[in-house]
Amino acid sequence: MNYSLFGFQIYGVKKMKKIIRFSVILVNILLALFLFAQEQQSNGVPTIKAPDLRFSTTDEYVRVVLDVFENRELKFTEKINSDSVVITIMNLEIKNAITKSINDKLVKNATLTSDKSKNAVITIKLTDERTTMLTSMPFEEITPGEGAKKRFVIDIPRNINNKTYENIADHLLFMKHEFTEFGYQKLDLLLIKKGSKFKVSYSAGGETVSQFITREKARAGINGGFFMNGPAPLGLLKTDEGIVSMPLYKRATIAFDSSSSPNFFNPSGTFKVHTAFGDFTAEDWISASRDTVRHNLKVITFTSKIEVPKNDYGNTYIVKDGKVTFITKEKYALKSGEIALNAIFEAHTKLENTLKVGSAVTITPSISGMDITKYAYALAAGPKLITGGKIVDFSKNAEHFQDDVLKGKAIRSAIMLHRDGRIILVSTERNMSLKDLSTYLQRFGAVEALNLDGGGSTQMRSDKGALNALNYSRKLTSAILVF
């Protein structure tokens, strides 16, 4: 039964209940359809809500940017043709194709479409046929005004091959080379006349190359080898102070004799320990700690800046001026002039009843693979890049470097011996692989080349200022100087 109140029709209770039940069912159906649509989209191929293909141009490259309104993982492949660059982004369907006319001397246009597999395809047409180097930056999450999305960047470097020169001194010619053969690169090379004087300098507290040059009154220099522990050198280092650190993993070493003639080696080393009760061989602590074989007698030097650890399996003998000054099992911080002889297990058994405080002990570095006495200076770094004019096969990893050093790209520094006998110092201002750097140096005329410490340690300077525009100022443990 229906009722009327002030002209409005009012339904009966039973009919009202039916209307409410029907409304609830209708709402549930609509909600289920919405959730189903959402699930289908999440399980299916995503689409770009508002595709944004943009570009910019500089003197160095043309940059094409794709903004994706999808905060999810996306994978891509790239193909470089003689007249185009093609980027395929998997599982990203483009509903409406986009074309951007660039009309640059390098690039005509860029298009964004979908292929038959519903993958996004970016095609960048070049103005002429040439070998193209490509720098693709993987998807990066950003937060623009419209909300979270991801951005994909493609840089196409221009064909550049510019060389500029500056005379630093009569015997020093600085060359900056800007080119695009290995992607956009800037290399700094200091060409040094034969007969120039070289020196490897050491700083116990760490110095910048500028500080090394000032202290030693040098004309120019470059960063040296690797280091740790703020800073302690890694690998063979011989300076005016003598042998500062021992070889590590037979890593490549450059050595200068008294006339500054260079030579290259892969040395190894131990310590000879002489006592009144017999002679022993001890390993360098740093080398031994990286070895899979247990060594029972090890030497810790003051210059390693390693705190003598607690010895639970024997004694540690502190030696100074050729005598045991005291014996300990506890941690100990070495002082200048002190050497620690760490003995465990069998070595401890042999020494515990013979070495006493006051006992005479001589601990002498023993270098094999080169006659260290013939060289005034030696510096290990690595890996070796070129030997006998040929590029070294890094895949063998004979010098035990991590893959990020061997296969990655980074700011680099190196020293090379030219076929005409000149030494050339080299540094990069952009990330470069060791393979590309080796190819460049080989073409430049290198018969021998050694990679030096790089990254934030890269510093090439003259007494007039920075030669490498990055102008890093990390404090280093060693530097190669020219006078």
Kindly state whether residue 31 falls inside one of the protein's structural domains.
Answer: no
Final residue of a domain: which of 367, 393, 421? 367
Final residue of a domain: which of 367, 395, 410? 367
Final residue of a domain: which of 367, 391, 417? 367
Kindly state whether residue 333 falls inside one of the protein's structural domains.
Answer: yes
User: For residue 126, what pLDDT is reported?
Assistant: 85
Q: Which of 142-151, 159-168, 254-263, 381-390 has the lowest mean pLDDT?
A: 142-151
Residue, of 184 and 401, whose pLDDT is higher: 401
Kindly state whether residue 20 falls inside one of the protein's structural domains.
Answer: no
Whether 377 and 429 share a structural domain = yes
Q: Residues 421-437: what's their mean pLDDT?
A: 96
What's the rounded Cα separation, in Å, for the pair 221 and 459? 8
Kindly state whether residue 425 falls inside one of the protein's structural domains.
Answer: yes
* Phi-psi label, residue 429: left if phi above 0, alpha if psi -120 to 50, beta otherwise: alpha
- Dump pLDDT digits (tens) for 190-206: 999 999 999 999 999 99
User: For residue 104, what pLDDT is reported?
Assistant: 86
52's tokens: 């944004």
113's tokens: 């479409």
DSSP 274-317: EETTEEEEEEEHHHHHT-SS--SEEEEEGGGTPPBPP-SSEEEE
How are beta strands 3-5 and 278-284 bridged, if at all? Answer: unpaired
User: For residue 148, what pLDDT is reported?
Assistant: 43
Whether 167 and 126 share a structural domain = no
CATH number at residue 95: 2.60.40.3500
User: For residue 181, what pLDDT is reported?
Assistant: 82
Q: How far apart are the first and last CA of the chain?
A: 113
Whether 477 and 402 share a structural domain = yes
User: For residue 128, what pLDDT is reported?
Assistant: 63
Kindly state whether residue 410 falls inside one of the protein's structural domains.
Answer: yes
Kindly state whether residue 456 falls inside one of the protein's structural domains.
Answer: yes
Kindly state whether residue 347 falls inside one of the protein's structural domains.
Answer: yes
- pTM listed for this prediction: 0.72
- pLDDT above 90 (res 5): no
CATH number at residue 329: 2.60.120
DSSP conformational letter for 110: E
Whether 112 and 192 share a structural domain = no
Q: Which residue has the tokens 């443990």?
A: 477
CB 154 within 8 A of CB 124: yes
Whether 362 and 442 share a structural domain = no
User: For residue 215, what pLDDT is reported?
Assistant: 98
Whether 253 and 286 share a structural domain = no
- pLDDT above 90 (res 416): yes
CB 456 within 8 A of CB 472: yes
Q: Which of 101-110, 310-319, 462-471 has the lowest mean pLDDT?
A: 101-110
Kindly state whether residue 468 falls inside one of the protein's structural domains.
Answer: yes
User: For residue 138, what pLDDT is reported?
Assistant: 60
Whether 475 and 441 share a structural domain = yes
Q: Buried b vs exposed e over 369-403: b needs ≥16 C-beta within 10 Å?
A: ebebeebbbbbbbbbbbbbeeebbebeeebbebee
Whether 346 and 357 share a structural domain = yes
Tell me, what amino acid is at 87? I
Whether 286 and 382 share a structural domain = no
What's the rounded Cα separation, in Å, for the pair 237 and 367? 11
Three-state SS at 467:
coil
- Domain range for 82: 52-157
What's the rounded Cα separation, in Å, for the pair 394 and 386? 10
Whether 248 and 183 share a structural domain = yes
Q: How many structural domains comprise the chain? A: 3
Whether 324 and 341 share a structural domain = yes
- Dump pLDDT digits (tens) for 231-282: 789 999 999 999 999 999 999 999 999 999 999 999 999 999 999 989 999 9
Measured CA to CA in angstroms, residue 22 lies from 15, 17, 18, 28, 35 at distances of 11, 9, 6, 10, 20
DSSP conformational letter for 469: T
Whether 177 and 307 share a structural domain = no
Residue, of 94 and 451, whose pLDDT is higher: 451
User: For residue 183, what pLDDT is reported?
Assistant: 75
Counting residues of the chain whose pLDDT is more than 90, the rounded percentage is 62
DSSP 193-258: -TT--EEEEEEEEEE-HHHHHHHHT-SEEEE---EETTTEE-S-EEETTEEEE---TT--EEEE-T
- pLDDT above 60 (res 130): no
Residue, of 38 and 21, whose pLDDT is higher: 21
